[in-house]
Homo-oligomer: A and B are copies of this chain.
Amino acid sequence: MIKASVYVTLRPGVLDPQGETIKSSLNDLGFSEVAGVRAGKYLELDLDTDDVAAARSRLDDMCGRLLSNPVIEDYTVEIEERRGS
């Protein structure tokens, strides 16, 4: 069993209305040090395999095909192995 984390973020230059709105709400709440917020997605996946290399390439595939929208988003994948589970 492999546990993977996928972070999906907006590509640089793509407008992030959600992030901007969160930022101004934080500022209004008195967190004036917040200079910028970018909002993205965080996914945790459990994969039924022990082959890390294969998993990595499959995850790339999943990101390309479903988890992210390459037109406006980038993604990062992190893998954490859990032995013996």
Q: Which one of B1, B32, B37 lies within 8 Å of A35 (CB-CB)? A: B1
Whether A45 sits at the interface, judged by CB under 8 Å, is yes
User: Do A67 and B22 touch across chains, with their CB atoms under 8 A apart?
Assistant: yes
Assembly CA distance A34 to B8 (angstroms) = 18
Instruction: Determine how many copies of this chain the complex contains.
Output: 2
Chain A residues 29 to 85 lying within 8 A of chain B, measured CB to CB, are: 29, 31-49, 55, 58, 61-62, 65-67
- CB interface residues, A 11-31, toward B, < 8 Å: 19, 22, 25-26, 29, 31
Indicate if the CB atoms of A66 and B29 lie closer than 8 Å. yes
A19 CB contacts on chain B under 8 angstroms: 43
Assess whether A41 is in contact with B38, with CB atoms less than 8 Å apart. no
